[in-house]
Amino acid sequence: MVSNPFAHVATKFSGPPSASDYAVDKALRMIVQGAAAVILLLVAYIIFELGRQALPAMLSFGPGFLIGTDWNVQEKVFGILPEIWGTLYSSLLALFIGGIFGVAIAIFLTQDFLDHRLSNVFRTIVEMLAAIPSVVYGLWGIYVLIPLIRPGAEWLHETFGWFPLFGTDLAGPGMAPAALVLAVMILPTVAAISVDAFRRVPYKVKEAAYGMGTTRWEAIMKVMLPTASSGILAALVLGFGRALGETMALAMLIGNSNQISLSLFAPANTLASLLASSFPEAGPVEVQALMYAALALLAITLIVNVLGLWIMKAATRKFEGKA
The continuous run of DSSP H or E covering 246 comes out as none
User: Do the Cβ atoms of 295 and 198 come closer than 8 Å?
Assistant: no
Q: Is pLDDT at 96 greater than 90 in this prediction? A: yes
Kindly state whether residue 9 falls inside one of the protein's structural domains.
Answer: no
Q: What is the DSSP letter of 111?
A: T
159 and 291 co-located in one domain: yes
- Check residue 37 and give its pLDDT: 92
Best CA proximity match to 79, nearest among 258, 261, 278, 319: 258
39 and 168 co-located in one domain: no
Q: Looking at per-residue confidence, does 9 or 222 come out higher?
A: 222
Helices (H), the chain: 7-14, 19-61, 64-67, 81-110, 116-128, 134-140, 146-160, 175-199, 203-211, 216-219, 225-227, 229-245, 248-253, 271-278, 284-315
Cα angle for residues 78, 95, 319 (degrees, 5° grid): 125
Kindly state whether residue 30 falls inside one of the protein's structural domains.
Answer: yes
149 and 262 co-located in one domain: yes
Q: Provide the whole-model pTM.
A: 0.83
- Check residue 5 and give its pLDDT: 57
**Mean per-residue pLDDT, 167-174:** 85
219 and 304 co-located in one domain: yes
d(CA 323, CA 320): 9
According to DSSP, the residues that pair with 72 across neighbouring strands are 77
Q: Which of 1-5, 78-82, 109-113, 150-154 has the lowest mean pLDDT?
A: 1-5
173 Rama sector, left if φ>0, alpha if ψ -120 to 50, beta otherwise: beta
Best CA proximity match to 189, nearest among 118, 243, 267: 243
130 and 23 co-located in one domain: no
Kindly state whether residue 67 falls inside one of the protein's structural domains.
Answer: no
CATH number at residue 210: 1.10.3720.10
- Check residue 93 and give its pLDDT: 93
d(CA 200, CA 312): 16
Q: Is 263 helix (H, G, I), strand (E, B) or coil?
A: coil
- Check residue 213 and give its pLDDT: 78
37 and 92 co-located in one domain: no
- Check residue 140 and give its pLDDT: 92
Best CA proximity match to 81, nearest among 263, 271, 245: 271
Total domains in the fold of the chain: 2
Boundaries of domain holding 29: 18-61
CB atoms within 10 A of CB 149: 19
**Mean per-residue pLDDT, 4-13:** 54
**Mean per-residue pLDDT, 161-190:** 88
- Check residue 41 and give its pLDDT: 92
d(CA 271, CA 49): 18
110 and 199 co-located in one domain: yes
- Check residue 321 and give its pLDDT: 56
- Check residue 322 and give its pLDDT: 55
Q: What phi, psi does 255 have (nearest 5°)? A: 105, -20
Best CA proximity match to 270, nearest among 182, 209, 203, 205: 182
